[in-house]
Structure 1
Amino acid sequence: MKNERGYVAIFEALIVIFLVLTCVLFLNSVVVTPNPSLSQKADNFNKAQDIMESLSGKVNFTDETFLSEISNILSDRWDKNKAIEEVSELTKSKFEELGLKDNYKFVEVNEFNGATLLDSGNYDSAENISIASRNYGDYCYRLYVW
């Protein structure tokens, strides 16, 4: 059989190109460059926001929010140190109830000029800090999670 028009050669060339592309795609799928995982950062961001949302939300219309409760304690006490101690105890039990096991720092930044109400972990050496902030009355609360 004579191959005068070169159909067999073209067909063989197409098969070789198909096999080469298949090998390249296979090797490309095997050799994967690592992508940076952003899920941990997003998880911490969401955790800080979720905790603050829980602290500022009402269960129903007759309940008082946690932030209003601690704001009342801070405003009613003449001794600021005792007020901070009382709020610290309430906040610790609330954070345990909400399942916050990470490192955190809970601060009032307006009336108490950045007084730490409760903390867990070393804030100075922390990386990837996520911040959530909520206001209640004259008080501004910030939660740092890392």
Structure 2
Amino acid sequence: MTLSPIFETKVLASSVQRWVMDPRSAGEARHALRERMGVWGLADSADVAELVLSELFTNALRHSKAPSDRLIETHFEQLPDGVRIQVHDAGDSVPISREAPDDAEGGRGLSLVDALSGGRWGVAGRDGVGKAVWAVVPAVDGA
């Protein structure tokens, strides 16, 4: 996947937080997202959103090759049709969705993100070093 800009759409509300590069931060970020989704009336979509965030955040921890003193930044944006999740890291490697062998224990995260977001995800540059990996989780009907 090549860099693709984060598409412009009406953002109804947003939340930005920074996290230390520690596996425990992924759980804290998921909790923050679930809380925000409840405030925005999107609680029915929170499970899927948390799974997407978990995949993106874990990729930032595992693959960014950024110094351990760098932070991971999350952006949660309420959209008219769901929530856009962004995970910013200081790494310059661009994630690539690939097909994992049947017996592989990993390598399916971005395929999962692609399926859960209906293909609405990408990688964008950002001010300064690094990148932003983003995905849109649609609102559950009736949410």
Return the index of the structure with the highest Cα Rg: 1
TM-score normalized with structure 1 length: 0.34
Q: Which has the higher strand share?
A: 2
**Structure with the largest fraction of helix:** 1
